[in-house]
């Protein structure tokens, strides 16, 4: 227990002296010295130099040995596979991307996964066999009773009944699979806006809509792994979608997904990039809406300046209406989730919601306060750069540290 406490302190604080570790753990100097000698002999800590700036002899500093273990995380989307390798301290040391089949790249799914892992490992200066654990994030979820991916019919190449066996044969180290939104919640819990909350809901809006629920500090995945597939949620304001699994969509996705933002733009006569992927076009549209309604707050100018004051005012009104109607759609689905779950905190995440910024968050908060009785805090996610990949690495690191840092074995 003392060994693990010291290692956790070194991870949290960085290099520490023997006396500082003793003070933080409550151990005597001789006991702290024995502990550090034991950890150094086990290859878990290394000396990193000496402290300076104090009277008397400089103290030796110790840090967690970055090379004690490495893990990999993968973020699988319809566009491709992004892989990253991190050392045991959590520092990302290598990344690599592989396009999805059908987008200029041939190969089976296991081959592409291995290629992504090997590319990231090479960039990190390690071998595939040096990786202690890999966590793979995908849309949908692998049903634990069948091993097949559910809720993600749009993801090519990931629905073979033998896929998990093939991946296990190709990558003979511990493999774990999780829903991409669940992993975004892990990232916010360990690195971001939900760090002080054990009960929260994360709403994700990017290529699709999803949610993750954390109860008592732990993810709730559901009986088939499908907890949080809120894109299928029937909501007021949309047609009732039957055979939702076959259509791959549902009411909430139609009301408040990226496609809904683009539909509102068409109704209001606002331009957007028809050639871009839907979620990217929606995100850019919301950024433009912020600029048109509050250029200072948005931190940028509209993409195309109107030719007259009248046109500028008309554009501003149209963009304001787009933001308001989009916020109402988001709040409508959230009201159902809040009524059932009563979370302490709601985190808005994903590229579309991040693009709406504080203005969209405040509009959703105001609408939700009228539609739901509970009043959870509503915040924007702060892990905005590859949150799914960050969550995959954090998940892999948590399990690997429990194994590698266990000096009792």
For the chain, the straight-line distance linking the first and the last C-alpha, in angstroms and rounded, comes to 12
| 198-231 residue pLDDT tens | 999 999 999 889 999 999 999 999 988 889 999 9
Q: How confident is the model over 331-361, as pLDDT tens digits?
A: 999 999 999 999 999 999 999 999 999 999 9
Q: Which two tokens stand for residue 177?
A: 């699979």
Check whether 299 has a pLDDT greater than 50: no
Distance CA 258, CA 265 (A): 11
Residue 137: strand, helix, or coil: strand
pTM: 0.90
Torsion angles phi and psi, residue 86, rounded to 5: -125, 150
Grouping H, G, I as helix, E, B as strand and the rest as coil, residue 334 is helix
CATH tag, 2-64: 1.10.10.10
CATH number, domain 68-184+388-404, options 3.40.50.150, 3.40.50.10490, 3.20.20.70, 3.30.420.40: 3.30.420.40
> Would you list the domain boundaries of the chain?
2-64, 68-184+388-404, 196-382
What percent of the chain stands above pLDDT 90? Answer: 70
Please check whether the two domains, 68-184+388-404 and 196-382, share a CATH topology: yes
Please determine, for residue 53, whether its predicted confidence score (pLDDT) is greater than 80.
Answer: no
**For residue 401, how many other CB atoms are within 10 A of its CB?**
22
The CATH number of the domain covering residues in 196-382 = 3.30.420.40
Is the pLDDT at 103 greater than 70? The verdict is no
Eight-class DSSP state of 53:
S
Alpha carbon 351 to chain centroid, angstroms: 11
> What mean pLDDT is reported for the chain?
90
């Amino acid at each position: 227990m003392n060994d693990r406490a010291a290692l956790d302190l070194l991870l949290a604080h960085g290099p520490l002296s023997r006396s500082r570790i003793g003070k933080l753990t409550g151990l005597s100097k001789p006991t702290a010295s024995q502990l550090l000698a034991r950890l150094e002999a086990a290859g878990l800590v290394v000396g990193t130099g000496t402290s300076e700036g104090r009277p008397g002899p400089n103290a030796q500093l110790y840090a967690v040995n970055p090379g004690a273990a490495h893990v990999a995380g993968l973020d699988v989307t319809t566009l491709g596979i992004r892989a990253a390798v991190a050392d045991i301290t959590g520092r990302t040391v290598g990344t690599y991307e592989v396009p999805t089949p059908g987008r200029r790249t041939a190969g089976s799914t296991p081959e592409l996964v291995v290629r992504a892992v090997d590319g990231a490992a090479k960039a990190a200066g390690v071998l595939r066999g040096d990786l202690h654990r890999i966590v793979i994030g995908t849309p949908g979820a692998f049903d634990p009773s069948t091993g097949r991916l559910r809720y993600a019919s749009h993801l090519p190449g990931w629905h073979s009944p033998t896929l998990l066996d093939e991946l296990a044969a190709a990558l003979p180290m511990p493999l774990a699979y999780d829903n991409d939104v669940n992993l975004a919640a892990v990232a916010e819990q360990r690195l971001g806006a939900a760090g002080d909350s054990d009960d929260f809901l994360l709403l994700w809006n990017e290529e699709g809509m999803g949610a993750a629920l954390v109860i008592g500090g732990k993810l709730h995945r559901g009986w088939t792994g499908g907890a949080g597939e809120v894109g299928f949620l029937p909501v007021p304001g949309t047609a009732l979608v039957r055979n939702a699994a076959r259509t791959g969509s549902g009411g909430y996705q139609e009301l408040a997904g990226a496609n809904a933002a683009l539909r509102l733009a068409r109704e209001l006569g606002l331009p957007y990039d028809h050639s871009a992927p839907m979620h990217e076009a929606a995100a850019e549209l919301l950024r433009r809406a912020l600029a048109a309604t509050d250029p200072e707050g948005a931190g940028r100018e509209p993409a195309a300046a109107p030719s007259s004051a009248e046109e500028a005012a008309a554009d501003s009104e149209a963009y304001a209406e787009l933001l308001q109607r989009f916020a109402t759609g988001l709040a409508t689905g959230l009201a159902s989730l809040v009524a059932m779950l009563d979370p302490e905190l709601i985190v808005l995440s994903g590229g579309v919601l991040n693009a709406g910024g504080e203005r969209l968050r405040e509009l959703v908060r105001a609408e939700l306060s009228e539609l739901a009785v509970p009043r959870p805090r509503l915040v924007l996610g702060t892990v905005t750069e590859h949150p799914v990949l960050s969550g995959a690495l954090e998940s892999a690191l948590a399990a690997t540290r429990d194994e590698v840092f266990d000096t009792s074995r």
